[in-house]
Amino acid sequence: MIPIISVVGKSDVGKTTLLEKLLVELKKRGYRVATIKHDVHGFNIDQPGKDTWRHAQMP
């Protein structure tokens, strides 16, 4: 079974920042990772400087 981690919280509490740091650590440990972002209100991932844009730029 593939492990799954879900991060849920209100806006502006640091979810994406936490995920960025977590993904770096998991990759250092040799894990292959993927992410899915969901937002019922819609969002534009291409806004430079926003946390979702930073997350999308991660290698």
Does 35 map to a domain?
yes
The answer as to whether 3 is a domain residue is no
Both tokens assigned to 40: 């019922």
Question: What total number of domains does the chain contain?
Answer: 1
Structural domain boundaries, residue 48: 15-57
pLDDT band, very low/low/confident/very high, at 57 (cuts 50, 70, 90): confident
Global pTM value = 0.65
User: Structure tokens of 18?
Assistant: 């936490």
- Whether residue 8 is predicted with pLDDT greater than 70 in this model: the reply is yes
* Domain membership flag for residue 47: yes
pLDDT of residue 37: 75
Confirm if 7 and 18 have CB atoms less than 8 A apart: yes
Quickly state the pLDDT bin for 45 (edges 50, 70, 90): low
Please give the pLDDT value at position 43: 64
